[in-house]
Amino acid sequence: MDKETAEKRIQTLRDELNQYNYEYHVLDNPSVSDYEYDTKMKELQDLEAEYPDLLTPDSPSQRVGGKPLDSFQKVQHNIPMLSLGNAFNEQDLRDFDRRVREGTDAKNINYVCELKIDGLAISLRYIDGILERGATRGDGRTGEDITQNLKTVRSIPLKISENQTIEVRGEAFMPVKSFKALNEAREAEGKDVFANPRNAAAGSLRQLDPKIAAKRNLDIFVYSVGEWEAGELASHSERLSYLKQLGFKVNPETKTCKNIDEVIAYIQYWTEHRPELSYEIDGIVIKVNQMDIQEELGFTAKSPRWAIAYKFPAEEATTTLRDIELS
């Protein structure tokens, strides 16, 4: 095959494989068999081996690329990745709602409720639609460059559907099933087991060898936009829809609530149905939906005034309380 034909065939294969990957890992609805996927991947890898100068960072063959690093580079978050204030009961939630209403003249405030995924916060930076950098939150201002490891997370697109320059933030996590399988394997090998899926996800993304991270079945839900040159869209819910359109995985249980009573109902529902989820959550994040009200409310030194995390009571604490009540 001559180089020009090879270049066209390589591009076709890349687009097809990126689409298949999106269907399988983001939509959970594959349109081709694993056999067809693997056959096309092999064809792509052979063509790229024949024409190495045609390799690009967004090629699906580059997901598990790179050699083990000696250490991770530090990176600066131009927009700090802040932490959330906490609420532990209904009164805290109503106090939050009151503070929000006192902080703005706007009348029709609504909230977006998101399951609080118990993983680790990460930042993904795309330049002209191509994933250039993936980083941990770190202390909110300085994180670590773990691009090679995040590229192995199949639900993270290497190339998004528009050539936007945009930073997207989300939570990387390990599904409970993968966590249990990993610990069984480690136990069989006489290795230490991870205490919980969050530690397992963090430990996996801190691996210097991307081939190890690639085997850990990590996943992601994105939940906000950091730096964004276009920066429009007036509400958080519209931004989440836009991220879905770009090819990101947004948590399907996310819900826009008209008022704090609906937020409380949502929290009650998930307090009951939490065990049915295939991943761990440690609470519910509530955010003011209107971006202009978010801007008006601003931030304290470490957290946004327009968002709060309702935390579920920790299991052991609940058991202890119940023991006391029963004894």
Hey, which residues are catalytic here? 116
What minimum distance in Å lies between the beta carbon of 306 and ligand 0OX? 8
What minimum distance in Å lies between the beta carbon of 224 and ligand 0OX? 4
CA angle 253, 103, 256 (to 5 degrees): 15
Closest CA to 79 of 125, 114, 113: 125
What minimum distance in Å lies between the beta carbon of 198 and ligand 0OX? 10
- Residues near 35 by Cβ (< 8 Å), separated by ≥ 6? none
Beta carbon nearer to ligand 0OX, 222 or 264: 222
d(CA 14, CA 8): 10
Binding site for ligand 0OX (CB under 6 A): 82, 84, 114, 116-117, 121, 171, 223-224, 285, 304, 307
> What is the rounded end-to-end Cα distance, in angstroms, of the chain?
79
Helix residue spans in the chain (DSSP H): 3-25, 34-50, 90-102, 147-150, 176-188, 197-205, 210-214, 236-246, 260-273, 291-297, 315-326
Q: At 312, phi and psi to the nearest 5?
A: -65, 150
What minimum distance in Å lies between the beta carbon of 289 and ligand 0OX? 13
Beta carbon nearer to ligand 0OX, 117 or 124: 117
Beta carbon nearer to ligand 0OX, 37 or 96: 96
Please, are residues 115 and 312 in contact by the beta-carbon 8 Å criterion? Answer: no
- Distance between alpha carbon 303 and the CA centroid of its chain, in Å? 19
Beta carbon nearer to ligand 0OX, 13 or 168: 168
131 is written with which tokens? 């994933």
- Residues near 296 by Cβ (< 8 Å), separated by ≥ 6? 103, 104, 106
Beta carbon nearer to ligand 0OX, 301 or 324: 301
